[in-house]
A and B are shown apart, each in its own frame.
Chain A
Amino acid sequence: MATTTTKSPALLVGQSLRRREDPRLITGTATYVDDVKMPGMHHACILRSPHAAARIRGIRTSRALEMPGVVAVFTGEDVAHLGPVPCGAALPGLRVPAHTVLARDRVYYVGHPVAVVVATDRYLAADALDAIEVDWEPLPAVADPEKALEPGSPAVHPEWPDNIAFTYKQEGGDVDKAFAEADVVVRQRLVNQRLIPVAMETRGVVAEWKPGDRQLTLYTSTQIPHLVRTLVAGMLKMPENRLRVVAPEVGGGFGSKLNVYAEEALMAFVAMKIGKPVKWIESRRENFVATIHGRGHVDYYEVAAKRDGTILGIKLKLIQDIGAYHQLLTPAIPTLSILMMPGLYKCKNVRADLIGVFTNCTPTDAYRGAGRPEATYGIERMVDILAAELQMDPAEIRFKNFVGSGEFPYQTATGLSYDSGDYAAPLRKALETVSYKTLREEQRKAREAGRLIGIGISTYGEICALGPSASLPCGGWESATVKIEPGGQVTVLTGISPHGQGEETTFAQIVADELGVSIDDVVVLHGDTSLVQYGIGTFGSRNTAIGGTALYFALQDLKEKLKKFGAMLLESDDVVWNRGRCVCMKSGKEVTLPEIAAASYRAMKLPENTDPGLVATRFWEPPNFTFPFGAHIVVTEVDSETGAVQILRYVAVDDCGKIINPLLVRGQIHGGVVQALGQVFYEHAVYDENGQLVTGELTDYAVPKASYIPAIESYHTETPSPVNPLGVKGVGEAGTIGCTPAAVNSVVDALSHLGVRHIDMPLTPEKIWKVIQDRRTA
């Protein structure tokens, strides 16, 4: 549906352009928060609780204050007037604990901030941290969400002894009837373990207060500068236009920087208090406990089906580990899982019971995919378990249950309207790519020879382009301003806040095509609230589908205005816009965009009812989510002696709608898949029974290294979305969503002849070895 006025081969949309962001990044000249330096800048270090639960009987700061270079130490009492760390999500009956910026009389998780030291130098601040004396009274803690629900378990928040943060139910169709009529019901407990996002850049904040202007500037490593501005201004009880938030270069987020953190308000407070700029850079150890974690689900699934494989109903009891507090979107994340319960299948009868549970752990929140990988993992594991029960081929059972390509828009049992799709197409392509039939034959032969080869399939759908405003507590629209400068160059101000996704390139591709300007004449700016009109930010694969669409409409507005000026200059009513020039259809005369731009700013003459200048701003509200989909196939071999898994082949076929830049889309898929392989094989935030995070550094928490993973083969089908004129759907989370069930299905498939039906992630060699041992002795 994308409308362009020419079919010139020089169109950039669809081309694999290398990124325009890269020159500063590959030369080490980009500015991340820790690269911000200001005259008189001080450094802050934060004292954090080593206990998961404890009363603070007293804090002595006097020794720290006497240390060289130390200018201040602040504790909970000093910041008691600041508003709480916000929870943006609302659910009926939601219990929201008071989440103060610094702990006051009690701490609730390891890493809970207790005091802040400010010194002239970061080494001196670190020294002084050791000199703060806290009189702790350790209390019993609970780290496991299922244990937290048991009667008599320690109460995370004494006011709610049952540890229940909220309950939520959703039902569609007639589930009881579906189960009553079923030939077969399969049940399985599935765990989506707690993960640590590990953006390579930890968080950091630089705060600068200019008392003369009553103006505060926060440089913070965030995905959502405008929302940080609104919410931190609220915490500080400060007018929003006195606060400027800048997201400089951001070194990865994956949802962990889609948040408002205590330290952002805390550094603002410190800067105003000491009258000097202050910098806080999170250490990796802090990052492991003080930045949100992801996942943390325990799911109890039941799937009812007919003997022919038709899925009739799905029941889910979902236990979400909340951690000690709600962060910005914590309670909303598992509700996304519920929305996605039926996956790509036509099942109209679903019931979900969700319990959010407080634990003495770091809060969970959005992490790459945010609720959707968990849901896909659930349905895609269950479909495989069902197929095994019915002795059906896992591909066949999927084909049987897919929503048909003629059924769109498709209303799901959870109230969604799937926009467009051909769900069988990527699966067919993936099966062809791996030569599925031959591969099954090879698997059979290998098995006879004693080798354990597995073939795992997942077909996923996802909810992207978050989202219509009704679905998000912060609003779900996006904004763009396009300015054609007097010289004809184009400046774009986008409300999204990309940090690696590449919109400085893809948006420039769209601009170049729409306006017919050289891409070198386009500059895309973002991430500074004093420069850019309000925007929502970057998450939920929304940049191009929503931010790009806002840009697209702003460009249409400008094209209209360009035509008006063109008509005036050509003295004709019959003009068209043709890639960079306005052409008179009668005379064939034309004026170029720079000529029009000059005329519009000079404004000697103006078209009727037209203002000078060429600036357009659009705030675009999407009518629906987009629903990308795809199929991943993973071939693995399990070493029967050690339990180690080798991935022999990884094939991903993803449909993210129209593709603006194939090179960047592939990059997103690769990154997403490998992040998910981390969950499948390596990553697990392990707490001991006292709430100590025992995988507290990168030496114990393994993220994938280059040598751990194979090459990813990435292919696409392209089904445009009718939701936006660009036809794009989003690709940021696809890899993460499609991968986990495919990989686990593959390993389980390798062991299926031993009677193995399920193994929880992470699939460590020891776990697999034990399963094999148990099966062989059974």
Chain B
Amino acid sequence: MKKTITLFINGQRYSHEVEPRLLLVHYLREVVGLTGAHIGCETSTCGACTVLLDGKAVKACTVLAVQADGRFVTTIEGIAANGSLDAVQEAFWNEHALQCGFCTPGMILTAKQLLAREPNPTEEQIRHGLEGNLCRCTGYQHIVNAVQAAASRSGD
């Protein structure tokens, strides 16, 4: 009753035999060893587990690993290329868009997708776009600033 799945995670191919009930977030964290996606709730509310599945932000705690079979996954560990930070990572750092850091990987990946879909978002678009990611520390202000900064940087 186990299934063999093959995923392409951060550009690398992984193949494992897993129980169908294994959640993608547990697969990434415990089988593959990528612990950047965090688990903050079990009701698909908080977004701390957000990863990109075929380029789209999804909550990895509400996706089965078997559903991701054959698909491409990008985690927070995979967005800095050749040791240089992604523009959104850099902006989060510069703008102090994180405190405890627990929501940050999910927040950054959602922000990346937001900018991919809307390169010049308004503040309102940013706030709505981040509705699926809860942060309890920052009050969101610096996160909004960071997304704006990343947008203007990539627009240069």
User: With A25-B98, A709-B140, A711-B141 as given contacts, are A201 and B93 in contact (CB-CB < 8 Å)?
Assistant: no
Number of interface residues of A (CB under 8 A): 60
Contact A200 B100 (CB under 8 A): yes
Asked if B85 lies at the interface with its beta carbon under 8 angstroms from chain A, I say yes
Interface check B38, CB cutoff 8 A: yes
Are B76 and A697 in contact (CB-based, < 8 A)? no
Q: Is the Cβ of B140 less than 8 Å from the Cβ of A501?
A: no
Cβ contacts under 8 Å, B94 to chain A: 18
The answer to whether A199 touches B136 (Cβ under 8 A) is: yes
Q: Tell me which of B1-9, B29-37, B52-60, B62-70 binds A.
A: B29-37
Alpha-carbon separation in the docked complex, A145 to B71 (Å): 53
Asked if A9 lies at the interface with its beta carbon under 8 angstroms from chain B, I say no
* Chain B residues, Cβ within 8 Å of A709: 139-140
Smallest CB-CB separation from B39: which chain A residue? Answer: A34
Question: Known: A123-B21, A698-B134, A706-B140. Contact between A26 and B98, CB under 8 A?
Answer: yes
In the bound assembly, the distance between CA atoms of A373 and B103 in angstroms comes to 26
In the assembled complex, the Cα of A544 lies from the Cα of B138 at a distance in Å of 19
State whether B36 touches A29 (Cβ < 8 A): yes
B77 at the interface (CB under 8 A from A): yes
* Chain B residues whose C-beta falls within 8 Å of the C-beta of A39 in the assembled complex: none
Can you list, as one digit per residue, whether each of A743-772 has a CB less than 8 Å from chain B (1) or not (0)? 000000000000000000000000000000
Asked if A611 lies at the interface with its beta carbon under 8 angstroms from chain B, I say: no
Q: In the complex, are the beta carbons of B37 and A699 less than 8 A apart?
A: no
Count class of interface residues, chain B: 35 or more
Distance (whole angstroms) from the CB of B37 to the closest CB of chain A: 7
Residue of A29, A250, A283, A706 with most partner-chain B CB within 10 A:
A706
A21, A663, A666, A670: residue with the most chain B Cβ atoms closer than 10 Å: A670
A526 CB, min distance to chain B CBs, angstroms: 14
Q: Mark B73-117, 1 if CB is under 8 A from A, else 0.
A: 001110010000100010011101011111111001000000000
Cα(A704)–Cα(B93), bound, Å: 23
**Whole-angstrom CA separation of A711 from B127 in the bound complex:** 10
Closest CB-CB distance, A290 to chain B, in whole Å?
14
- Decide if A22 is an interface residue (CB 8 Å cutoff): yes
A674: Cβ under 8 A from any B Cβ: yes
Q: Which residue of A lies closest to B37 (CB)?
A: A28
Q: Which residue of B lies closest to A197 (CB)?
A: B136
B24 at the interface (CB under 8 A from A): no
Beta-carbon contacts under 8 Å, A1-45 to B:
18-19, 21-32, 34-35
B80 CB, nearest partner CB in chain A, Å: 6
Q: Is B128 part of the binding interface, using a Cβ–Cβ cutoff of 8 Å? A: yes
Among candidates A22, A25, A698, A706, residue contacting B46 with C-beta atoms closer than 8 Å: A698
> Does residue B154 face the partner (Cβ distance < 8 Å to A)?
no
Q: Which residues of B contact A674 (CB under 8 A)?
A: 138-140
Residues of B within 8 A of A698 (CB): 41, 43, 45-46, 134
Look across to chain A and name the residue whose beta carbon is closest to the beta carbon of B137.
A671
**B26 to chain A: which residues have CB within 8 Å?**
122
Question: Is A269 positioned at the interface, with any CB of B under 8 Å from its CB?
Answer: no
Q: How far is the CA of A500 from the CA of B143 in the complex (A)?
A: 15
Task: Report the Cα distance A670→B141, complex, angstroms.
Answer: 7
**Smallest CB separation, B19 vs chain A (Å):** 7
Task: Please encode chain A, from 207 to 225, with 1 for each CB lying within 8 Å of some chain B CB and 0 for all others.
Answer: 0000000000000000000
Q: List the B side residues contacting A499 at CB < 8 Å.
A: 100
A664 to B100, CA, bound (A): 12
A735 touches B139 (CB 8 A): yes
- When C-beta atoms are compared, the residue in chain B nearest to A670 turns out to be B139
A27 contacts B77, C-beta separation under 8 Å: yes
Q: Which of B135, B139, B142 has the most CB of A within 10 A?
A: B139
Contact B96 A18 (CB under 8 A): yes
Known: A502-B99, A698-B46. A28 touches B34 (CB 8 A): yes
Select one of A29, A123, A250, A666 contacting B100, CB under 8 A. Answer: A250
Supply 19 A–B pairs (Cβ within 8 Å), ascending by A. A18-B96, A23-B93, A26-B101, A27-B80, A29-B36, A199-B102, A201-B100, A252-B99, A284-B42, A285-B42, A501-B99, A663-B96, A670-B138, A670-B141, A671-B137, A674-B139, A706-B131, A706-B144, A707-B127
